[in-house]
Structure 1
Amino acid sequence: MKKTAIIGSGITALTRAWQLTQRGHSCVVLESSPRIGGAIQSHRSGAYLAEAGPNSIQVNSAAVDRFLRSVPNLENRIITASARAKKRFILRNGRPQAVPMGPLSAITSPLWSLSGKLRVLKEPFVRPMAPDVEESAADFVRRRLGEELYQYAINPLIGGIYAGDPEQLSLRYAFPKLYALEQNHGGMIRGAIAKMHGNRQKHVPTVNKRIISFENGLAELPQALAAALGECVHTSVYLESIQHIDSHWQIKWNGQIHHYDEVILTTPAHSLAMLPLDLTLEKALRPLKAIDYPPVSVLSLAFKRAEVAHPLDGFGVLIPECEKRMILGVLFPSSIFAHRAPADEVLLTVFVGGERQPKLAQPDTDTLRIKILPELRQILGVAGKPKFVHHTHWPRAIPQYKLGYGELLQQMQTVEAHFPGLKLAGNYRTGISLSYCIESALEA
């Protein structure tokens, strides 16, 4: 029976701990703060429910689906996104325009000009980039789809996913599936067709792909995992030392020395230097300080339904950089999931800062609210004062997979090879979405 110590208590840590215990291994989850869950934080105040970090989980694989069903007392708490949430909006010329959901709507959509739409038809004939050339996400989209689709499709999407700069993000590492479509099939359209055809031939089982949350928010997931793990999870832990001695790991925490076969570090890359590692390991991990985590502020505001002109009939609206706004995007949580606000009110979640405008990610709630309310009035027709406000400021929010990220990934592998039994895990390693974190923890 393997003994494992997992440092941190985010979704990667708890998923891995759950899998280990299900397989009969012994593990402990060591969290220095009194709260588990990492960036997954849900705030319930009466009829209002605000998410401080991720807002939903996209279930797009059988592995994630099985995992969620395996956690005790969780399946009956799952709620699925409303059908109306399928619609997405992108701001153009100050107005939210619906993103086309099919070929016909793409032809008639006012989101893109006729020349922009015609440019997309060239995509299957664009030659793939040489595999040894690393390309930014922005350059990839311009090359394959043209400037307009970059400005009014991919730029706002990347702002919504990474709060990042598409000119700096590496396509190969930030969007590996897009990179693989071009390298394996010659392009995006060719790759999508080949993938569909291949799935039919292989009789790949269909997955009920859906967007989910829980009745009291995403925080129910880490809470349910921690409850199922029981005494394995320790909070308010004082870590004194983490050392590799001979063929095992020695960790001193809360005044006692414990020995483990394996140590999994799941803290953010910027927090690794704060761990009480021995000098040799600390030096080996120093290059990971180069991973950038820009600041993001998340502000949830509730208004009377009658005070918002937009029907809010979708998931949210993303803001292209060329629109010159302070807001990165706005989600419509009360349209996506039930019981996020009183029946006669709506809840909006606004994201500010990121790589685009880091200085706008204000820690002061009143300053931030004063700045963004005029934009909400212009974009969504919001009037009146908010009936509910919840603000979370993340000084270091989302890891950026920038050009040259492959060197950092190689450094992680080198460290693991030099320190047997050590694993580095988290959203800076295998993807930033909750689904990616869960899948990578299950596959480890």
Structure 2
Amino acid sequence: MSRLVVIGGGMAGLSAAYAAHKANPALTITLLEAGPRLGGKVLTHAEDGFLLEGGPDAVVRYKPWALELMRELGLEGELVGTLPARPSALIHDGKRALPIPAGLQMVVPGDLWALAKTPLLSPFGKARALLDLLLPGKEEDEAFGEFIRRRLGNQVWERLAAPLSGGIYGGDPAELSTLAAFPQLKELERTHSSLIRGALEQRKKRGTREAGGLFASLRGGLGTWVEAITRGLEGVQVYPHTPVTGLERRPESWRVYTSQGYQEAEAVVLAVPAGTAARLLEPLYPTAARALGEIPYGDSATVSLAFPAEKIPPRVGHGMLMAAGQGFHVRGFTWTDQKWAGRAPQGYALVRAYFSGISAREAELIQMALADLERLWGQVPPPERSWVFRWPQGLPRYTVGHLERVKTATEAERLAGLFLAGAAYQGVGLPEVVRLGSAKALQAVAFLSRGAPSAVPHPA
């Protein structure tokens, strides 16, 4: 009987186990998770009428893989969109909070009239952005901050692109690889010779972020998605509290060593952070392990604060992002009770602060969030409740050279029956993680259906 072991119980591993089980219900599948629970950074916490997301709070609609899985799991009736709000979010430029320009495509202006009217940019900044329509393209990869400054100017970077992109990856968004983290923008440059021209065209094909129509969640929080996938794994052997300590490639199978013994399998899906994968693969494929070890990770955290609604100022839209270089600690705030229905009891406001690239204790993170709110509001009452969710080294950073590192790392899949999945490779968002986990599971099922060949020789 064919056997598959999935290592890692985050969304990549859960998606892989589910896809493999669906493709071949007779397959013996084991899911191993080092921690006490499944779901990775998808963590919903309910307490006394408050519904909190410790990690991501939504999926984007235009990347279909997460929504397709939710619907397949019977969650169609639980899908919800953000509450109506115009503007949906503001950006604070250090002096005042201003609406995000309408028609924005990712971080690129897709509405020339809105660009002309926005007070976020000075007349010079707007004129500099329009030079994008005339500038030549550039084929090679470059840091994201350099790319946006080259195409659209420094003001667009500091006041639009940096705040909008700062919450996606850990650390400084200026250091990201444009080709790895934002390939769509390099494609716009290649196909339209201009980001703005490409964004104008793209806007005709899909919605814009200011209406909030791009985002979806679940009525009971994204944690209900984890619960639904887990229910769909009936017959799969699921072991939390089971860290994997080693991998051995045997002539006809894999041996997966854990803190509680070992598992035998003909195929393995390794759906863990890059550093963990590097440690496990170092004896088997040193060059791939070195490449995985070179993928940097950054810290992130969320702080949720509950206030009596009458004690804080009126808030606009769903939240506020912070311009770069203005001395804020947080990347942005979400007005959770105004973004999603049913997230706070009547009479309460629920504010969520997002941190990226900051290592601090829980009490320090709360004080940083309150200090930034005081800067925005002038005076902040003591929160009645607070919750902190920290993700040390939780987000991979796709810095320049990432595509080359991933190409080298995935050479480890030359080892017969090994498949790599997770946020370290082709996207950190939930849709991309689901897509890759599912795809690797189907490759594993196809491999097993052909019959597992003997192991390839170990590389020198």
Residue pair 2:57, 2:222 contacting (<8 A) in 1 also: yes
2:20 corresponds to which residue?
A: 20
Q: Calculate the TM-score normalised by the size of structure 1.
A: 0.88
Residue pair 2:242, 2:260 contacting (<8 A) in 1 also: no
Letter paired with 1:110: P
How do 1:78-227 residues align onto structure 2 when only pairs under 5 Å count?
78-84=79-85, 87-102=88-103, 103=111, 104-129=113-138, 131=139, 133-193=140-200, 210-227=214-231
How do 1:273-312 residues align onto structure 2 when only pairs under 5 Å count?
273=278, 275=280, 279-281=283-285, 284-309=288-313, 311-312=314-315
1:438 corresponds to which residue?
A: 434
Distance verdict in 2 for CA 1:209–1:67, change over 3 Å = farther
Residue pair 2:320, 2:332 contacting (<8 A) in 1 also: yes
Once the 2 structures are TM-superposed, how far is the Cα of residue 36 of structure 1 from its aligned partner?
Answer: 0.5
SS in 1 for 2:69: helix
Structure 2: how far apart are the matches of 1:65 and 1:2? 30
Residue pair 1:94, 1:379 contacting (<8 A) in 2 also: no
1:362 corresponds to which residue?
A: 360
Q: Which moved more, 1:314-323 or 1:249-258?
A: 249-258
SS in 2 for 1:123: helix
Which segments of 5 or more consecutive residues in structure 2 lack a partner in the other structure? 104-110, 207-211, 441-460
Structure 1: how far apart are the matches of 2:278 and 2:360? 25
Distance verdict in 2 for CA 1:380–1:441, change over 3 Å = farther
Residue pair 1:32, 1:237 contacting (<8 A) in 2 also: yes
Q: Which moved more, 1:46-55 or 1:229-238?
A: 229-238
Structure 2: how far apart are the matches of 1:370 and 1:286? 38
Structure 2: how far apart are the matches of 1:443 and 1:80? 27
Structure 2: how far apart are the matches of 1:262 and 1:312? 52
Structure 2: how far apart are the matches of 1:84 and 1:289? 43
Residue pair 1:298, 1:351 contacting (<8 A) in 2 also: yes
Distance verdict in 2 for CA 1:68–1:56, change over 3 Å = same
Once the 2 structures are TM-superposed, how far is the Cα of residue 287 of structure 1 from its aligned partner?
Answer: 3.0
Q: Deviations over 1:342-385 (max 9, x none)?
A: 2211111112341xxx3xx312x333323331320221455211
1:234 corresponds to which residue?
A: 239
Structure 1: how far apart are the matches of 2:22 and 2:401? 38
Residue pair 1:60, 1:209 contacting (<8 A) in 2 also: no
Residue pair 1:94, 1:378 contacting (<8 A) in 2 also: no
Percent of counterpart pairs with the same letter? 27
SS in 2 for 1:390: strand
Distance verdict in 2 for CA 1:212–1:193, change over 3 Å = closer
Once the 2 structures are TM-superposed, how far is the Cα of residue 59 of structure 1 from its aligned partner?
Answer: 2.0
- Does residue 408 (structure 1) correspond to residue 412 (structure 2)? The answer is no
Structure 2: how far apart are the matches of 1:389 and 1:108? 38
Letter paired with 1:266: A
Once the 2 structures are TM-superposed, how far is the Cα of residue 195 of structure 1 from its aligned partner?
Answer: 5.2
Which segments of 5 or more consecutive residues in structure 1 lack a partner in the other structure? 201-207
1:375 corresponds to which residue?
A: 372
- Does residue 387 (structure 1) correspond to residue 384 (structure 2)? The answer is yes
User: Which residue among 391, 416, 423 is the counterpart of 1:420?
Assistant: 416
Distance verdict in 2 for CA 1:126–1:443, change over 3 Å = farther
Structure 1: how far apart are the matches of 2:213 and 2:58? 13
SS in 2 for 1:384: coil
How do 1:274-353 residues align onto structure 2 when only pairs under 5 Å count?
275=280, 279-281=283-285, 284-309=288-313, 311-353=314-356
- Does residue 263 (structure 1) correspond to residue 260 (structure 2)? The answer is no
Q: Deviations over 1:15-43 (max 9, x none)?
A: 12212111125222111222111111111
Residue pair 2:146, 2:174 contacting (<8 A) in 1 also: yes
Structure 2: how far apart are the matches of 1:12 and 1:52? 18
Residue pair 1:58, 1:212 contacting (<8 A) in 2 also: yes
Structure 1: how far apart are the matches of 2:218 and 2:378? 30
Q: Calculate the TM-score normalised by the size of structure 2.
A: 0.85
Letter paired with 1:13: G
2:456 corresponds to which residue?
A: none
Number of matched pairs? 424
Q: Which moved more, 1:35-44 or 1:258-267?
A: 258-267
SS in 1 for 2:284: helix
Letter paired with 2:272: T
- Does residue 250 (structure 1) correspond to residue 255 (structure 2)? The answer is yes
Q: Deviations over 1:287-316 (max 9, x none)?
A: 31222212223211011212221x333232
Letter paired with 1:49: L
Once the 2 structures are TM-superposed, how far is the Cα of residue 146 of structure 1 from its aligned partner?
Answer: 1.0
Q: Deviations over 1:399-424 (max 9, x none)?
A: 1101111221121222212x121111
Residue pair 1:59, 1:210 contacting (<8 A) in 2 also: yes
Q: List structure 1 segments (4+ residues) > 6 angstroms apart after TM superposition.
A: none
Q: Which moved more, 1:171-180 or 1:25-34?
A: 25-34
